[in-house]
Structure 1
Amino acid sequence: MSFHLRLAATALLGLLPLTNAAYNLAREYKGQNFFSAWDYYGKYDNLTNGDVIWVNQSVAVSNPQLTYINSAGNAIIKVDDTTTVPYNEKRNSVRLTSLDKFNLGTVMVFDALHVPYGCSVWGALWSQGINWPAGGEIDIFEAVNLMTANQMALHTESGCAQADGVTQTGITQVKNCDNNGSNGAGCTVLDANTNSYGEPFAAAGGGVWVTEFAKTGINIWFFSRANVPASLSTDTIDVSTFGTPSASYPASSCDPAKYFSEQQIVIDITLCGDWSGVKSVLESTCPALNGTNTCYTTYVLDPKNYVNAYFELASVKIFASDPSAVVTAAGVTQTVSATGSPHPNAASGMGPTGAVAFGAFALTAMLGLVLQF
């Protein structure tokens, strides 16, 4: 290669923003088309033994509505809080799974105004591989009953653990991520911020969870509303500016490339079941069960117990370091805007900022080859 070609390539490279921590907006689920990008479970909770039916979409949009866009333009996902449930029947709720899948090199961002809470309530924002647990699971927000803070976790096959001495603000409770160990708890971290769940979360105006799914590891940040980084409202984010994560799982002790396949996002609310319905767990934050009463008989039958059992989501965003990291159900990569329509340059699978970042990546690789001559 000629000297002039090398010089030109170097000059072009200097004009492009290069940072290993930079991710560009690839998906934004928001507004009237929010629910078009998700699959409804459509049957009873046969996964965590909760006392709910995760309804299909036609039931969810009927009366009472369990999924809808409110007057503020936010997505509501809730438990039925108006129907008195006959004994031995289950209460209606919702479980959504994203149609899109996300590979290594993506960041999931949940902007919430309200999360479900209350005695017997078990809500979660999370992701999983298709062949669970072989494909791994990332619990971003998960809490039950009247816990004082959110709990984050990974669930994997045997061999993955959280490293010793990780830098995080949360409190590690279990280090072994093996789903068959610790009664299926996974490697859990309790958020130190009490605004991460329940009434304090709502009173603070909600907050944002940011989850980096990268070759170097998995990191989760929680920002209460007053501390949300301004860059999260832009098309490009740099996770190196976000400070210490709430939970950190470096690849040194749990390699995401080995233990995690492409992920689908799940949003769900169940009642009682294998965690929130366990007597000792329930009674640790809620009134003791009397006599032969159970979580089901004490709470599930009465709709008044579920006025706070809902998500209010302003948006779900996916940022990617490479546009190929985001794949639709049909296997076709494209970038979808807030309204569900393609961004500029959608034919190439990237918006303007994505094109610049990917161009920087390609040019860096080319320059490396050029300079070998």
Structure 2
Amino acid sequence: MFSRSWAVYASFLFPVAVRAAAQYDLVKEYAGESFFDEWTFYNNIDNLTHGDVNFLGNIDAFHNKLAYTNDAGNAVMRVDNTTQLKFGQKRNSLRLSTKDQFTVGSVWVADLLHVPYGCSVWSAFWSSAPTWPVGGEIDTFEAVNQDPLGHMGLHTNPGCTHSSNAVQSSTLINSTDCSTEANNNQGCIISNPNPASYGQAFANAGGGVYVTEFAIDGISIWFFNRTTLPSSLQGNVSTIDTSTLGIPVANWPADDCQVNEFFQLQEIVFDITLCGDYAGAASVFYQTCTGVCYNDWVLGDPSHYDTAYFEVSYLRVYGQPGELTVLQPSSTRRSAELSCLSMVGAITLATGSLLAIIWAL
């Protein structure tokens, strides 16, 4: 009885993956004054990647102007760049994730005008299953310190790898094992070869647009700067066809990483931490920066973080026509519970009727 109820619940939360399709329709948009309305702010220290930050809740984030909509109508998410800290203190920053979750068979498009950069900075635009690492992680954009390039990657349970048959434009393959248990959770990482994919060069170029396709036959990520942005992504686009976007920068086909095995519903995340397990690791930090990550940067001149911010024109999510793409965890859970309770009631009633018949006989 319990296993049957759980099967109903699980199938509601994690729908059977549908066949991949190139055509997708707009199902969700985060933009303008309402951009921040449907996000969960982490509201804790960085106990996940051990960075030297306090991730603020939404009230403090808005009050301290770390999250706001600027005069151009773009969403800004930033690190505190005004407070002089004392030893032992952490700098305020943000990590926020969508309240909604998105199924296999979806595409998210992010128009980013600026991404955080600088020594000690570790920023990312990514997605994750709520039960990480079960359910996987997709890193659309990630970069640290003064690295000249941004990166893309996957993190999964053991068994998923980057295929040698991947069709992608980047030849900068940093690692091929996606397992969180391999190589200190490096993941299977592809560097974006575009010199304007991160840092000052990204800002000088006016940013760019990232497209992530989360499909049953594989995961693909495209990056376009302003001069290469296809007409099919310009303006208020309600439908996109990923087959018109050309070869993706990074691609993880399902032949070596079954999407419906290693990935579940995804929440989209923006976060900026400082130092931590990646940016603060000596082998990484000293490649592009000097001094001591915490002492000289986090505790140093707060203006170090004048460039540590995201500026986002929009984030749009597209889904396959006629398929369920957007799920709300609270309503999903409640509906599943009611469904299970109804089943329990029906079986109980049927059992009682059967016993009554047997008793009468």
Q: Same fold (TM over 0.5)?
A: yes
Q: Which residue of 2 aligns with 1:179?
A: 180
Q: Which residue of 2 aligns with 1:257?
A: 260
Contact 2:169 2:250 in 1 (8 A): yes
Contact 1:118 1:144 in 2 (8 A): yes
Q: Which residue of 2 aligns with 1:55?
A: 56
More deviation, 166-175/95-104: 166-175
Alignment of 1:284 with 2:287, yes or no, is yes
1:286-305 aligned within 5 A: 286-287=289-290, 289=291, 294-301=292-299, 302-305=301-304
Q: 1:80 to 1:148 in 2, by over 3 A?
A: same
State the Cα distance separating 1:280 from its structure 2 match.
2.2
Aligned partners of 2:25 and 2:140: how far apart in 1? 20
1:2-21 aligned within 5 A: 20-21=21-22
**Deviation beyond 4 Å, 4+ runs, structure 1:** none
Q: Which amino acid aligns with 2:318?
A: F
Q: Where does the alignment leave 5 or more consecutive residues of structure 2 unmatched?
A: 1-19, 333-361
Aligned partners of 1:331 and 1:196: how far apart in 2? 38
Q: Where does the alignment leave 5 or more consecutive residues of structure 1 unmatched?
A: 1-18, 333-373
Q: Which residue of 2 aligns with 1:151?
A: 151
Aligned partners of 2:199 and 2:331: how far apart in 1? 38
**How high is the TM-score relative to the length of structure 2?**
0.84
Q: Which residue of 1 aligns with 2:26?
A: 25
Contact 2:27 2:325 in 1 (8 A): no
Aligned partners of 1:228 and 1:51: how far apart in 2? 36
Aligned partners of 1:253 and 1:262: how far apart in 2? 20
Contact 2:26 2:318 in 1 (8 A): yes
Q: Which residue of 2 aligns with 1:317?
A: 316
State the Cα distance separating 1:166 from its structure 2 match.
1.7
State the Cα distance separating 1:330 from its structure 2 match.
3.4
Aligned partners of 1:224 and 1:118: how far apart in 2? 21
Q: Which residue of 1 aligns with 2:352?
A: none
Q: Which residue of 1 aligns with 2:161?
A: 161
Q: 1:241 aligns with which of 240, 244, 264?
A: 244
Aligned partners of 1:86 and 1:207: how far apart in 2? 37
State the Cα distance separating 1:319 from its structure 2 match.
0.5
Aligned partners of 1:278 and 1:266: how far apart in 2? 23
Q: Which residue of 2 aligns with 1:110?
A: 110
Alignment of 1:141 with 2:129, yes or no, is no
State the Cα distance separating 1:328 from its structure 2 match.
2.3
State the Cα distance separating 1:121 from its structure 2 match.
0.2
SS at match of 2:184: helix
Q: Which amino acid aligns with 2:254?
A: A
State the Cα distance separating 1:225 from its structure 2 match.
1.5
State the Cα distance separating 1:331 from its structure 2 match.
3.6
Q: Which residue of 1 aligns with 2:73?
A: 73
SS at match of 1:262: coil
Q: Which amino acid aligns with 1:128?
A: S
Q: Which residue of 2 aligns with 1:196?
A: 197
Contact 1:136 1:261 in 2 (8 A): yes
Q: Which residue of 2 aligns with 1:11?
A: none
SS at match of 2:111: strand
State the Cα distance separating 1:78 from its structure 2 match.
0.2
Q: Kindly, what percent of the aligned residue pairs are identical?
A: 46
Aligned partners of 1:43 and 1:285: how far apart in 2? 29
SS at match of 2:50: coil
Q: Which residue of 1 aligns with 2:5?
A: none
State the Cα distance separating 1:72 from its structure 2 match.
0.1
Contact 1:169 1:191 in 2 (8 A): no
SS at match of 1:196: coil
Count matched residues: 308
State the Cα distance separating 1:27 from its structure 2 match.
0.5
Contact 2:21 2:105 in 1 (8 A): no
- CA RMSD, 1 decimal: 1.2
Query: Residues 64-119 of structure 1: CA distance to partner in whole angstroms, max 9, x if unpaired?
Result: 31000000000000000011111100000000010010001100111100000000
Q: Which amino acid aligns with 1:225?
A: R
